[in-house]
Amino acid sequence: MEDEFNYQAVPYGYTHCFNACCPKGEKCLHRLVAVHSTNQYPTLSVVNPNCIPEDAKACPFYKSIRKIRVAWGVRALLDDVPLKDAVSIKDRLLQHFGRSLYYRFYRKEYSIDPEQQEFIRRLFRQKGIKKEPAFEYYTEEYKW
C-alpha cells in the first residue's frame, strides 16, 4: 500500500501524527500521512505530542489503514433501465443526494462510497431491476 500512496489525495486538514516511536505507527493512517507529507503546505493539522498517551496501544488517535472500493460516474447508470423507472430513480437520487452532489458524481468529481452504492443498488431492487447499477469505473481509496 505504501508504495502507491498519493499525498494529493489526503483530505484538507487531515491530522498528521509524527510520533515515530508509536508501536502502532506502521498500521496508522495518521502516521502514514505524516510520513508522506511534503513541503507543499507550510502548516498542517497534527496530533499534539502532549496528548499522546504513554500506552500507545490505547491511542485515541489511531486510525487503521484501510482501503475501500469506490465507484465513479453515473452518466450511464440509467441507460439500460426502462424510462419510467429511470425517471423515478433519478428523482430519488436527486432527492437523497441533492442536486449538487448528484452532478458531482455525474462529472466524476466525487466518488461514490460503498454505502452510497448500496443505496443506489436498493433503489434498483425496489423497482424490480435485477441488473447491478453500472458505474463508469471503480478505484481503491483510503477510508479517511
The pLDDT score that the predictor gives to residue 113 is: 97
Domain boundary among 20, 40, 58: 58
The pLDDT score that the predictor gives to residue 58 is: 85
List of the chain residues with pLDDT < 70: 1-3
Q: Are residues 78 and 127 in the same domain?
A: yes
Q: Are residues 7 and 37 in the same domain?
A: yes
Q: What range does the domain containing 32 cover?
A: 2-58
What's the Cα-to-Cα distance from 90 to each of 75, 83, 118, rounded to whole Å? 11, 10, 15
The pLDDT score that the predictor gives to residue 3 is: 58
Q: How many domains does the chain have?
A: 2
Cell of 142: 483510503
The pLDDT score that the predictor gives to residue 2 is: 45
Q: Are residues 22 and 87 in the same domain?
A: no
Q: Are residues 134 and 96 in the same domain?
A: yes
Q: Taking the model in full, what pTM does it have?
A: 0.80
